[in-house]
Amino acid sequence: MDKDAKHPLDWLSGEAAAEPSRPCEVDQTAVSSVDLLDAYSKAVIAVVEAVGPAVVSISVGQETSRSEFEPMGAGSGFAITPDGYLLTNSHMVADAKKIETTFMDGRRLEATLIGMDASTDLAVIRVNASALPYAELGESSGLRTGDLVVAINQNEVTSVDDMFRILAEWPVGQRLILTVIRGKERIEMSIAPIEAT
C-alpha cells in the first residue's frame, strides 16, 4: 500500500483532516413532502373511521345437506341505507345459492339478491336489519383521472392460507390489489390471475 494513501476510515481516528463543520439540516422540500403525506394519511384515516362501520364482509356459497353454510367465495360491500340495502360486485353474487354478510360489530346476517348490472359489475343485496351505519353515495361527475380514492375492504387476511384462498377465488383476468401490512411496513402488489395452461 502506498504510504501516502489514506485509509478510507482514517477520519474515525481523527488522523484525516476534518471537513468544515456545518449544522445538520433537513431539506425543506422533504419537509413539505412529509407534510403532504401526513395530511393524506390523516384524510384516509378520517374516511376509514367515518365509512368503515358500513363495510361488510360477504361470503357466497351453498347450503350443505346438513343445513350448514359452505363458503365458495368472498368479497366485500357496504350498506347504502339504514334498512339493510348493501352494494357489492355482481360477479360476487351472480350465481350464489346463499349469501352471508358479516358486519364490523360481528353480526352475521343472510342476504338476498335484489338486483344486479353485469356491465357495471354492481349488485344490490339486502339483509333483514335496521338502524345500520351506512355510506352515502357521492357525485362522481366531478371526478378526474388521477383523483385519489380510498378502498376499504373487510376481508380478513390473517394468514398465508387466507391470502391463497382470496387469490384462488378471485376471477381470472380481474386485477386485485393485495396489501400486506407487517408492523409499520406496507407492501402493495397488483395481481391478475390467469388461466393455467
pLDDT in tens, 80-121: 999 999 999 898 898 888 999 988 888 889 999 999 998 888
39/125 same-domain check: yes
152 in a domain, yes or no? Answer: no
Mean pLDDT computed over 17-40: 70
84 in a domain, yes or no? Answer: yes
Q: What separation in angstroms does the CA of 48 have from each of 45, 53, 69, 137, 141?
A: 5, 8, 30, 15, 23
161/196 same-domain check: yes
- Domain residues for the domain of 43 are 28-137
Instruction: Based on DSSP, count helices (H) and strands (E) in the chain, helices before strands.
Output: 4, 8
Cα 135 from chain centroid? 17
81 in a domain, yes or no? Answer: yes
pLDDT in tens, 40-88: 888 888 888 888 889 898 888 877 777 777 777 778 899 999 999 999 9
181/103 same-domain check: no
pLDDT in tens, 7-20: 555 555 555 555 66
144 in a domain, yes or no? Answer: no
80/168 same-domain check: no
Q: Which three cell numbers stand for residue 121?
A: 359489475
36/129 same-domain check: yes
122/44 same-domain check: yes
User: What residues contact residue 189 under an 8 Å CB cut-off, 6+ apart?
Assistant: 177, 178, 179, 180
53 in a domain, yes or no? Answer: yes
The total number of structural domains in the chain stands at: 2
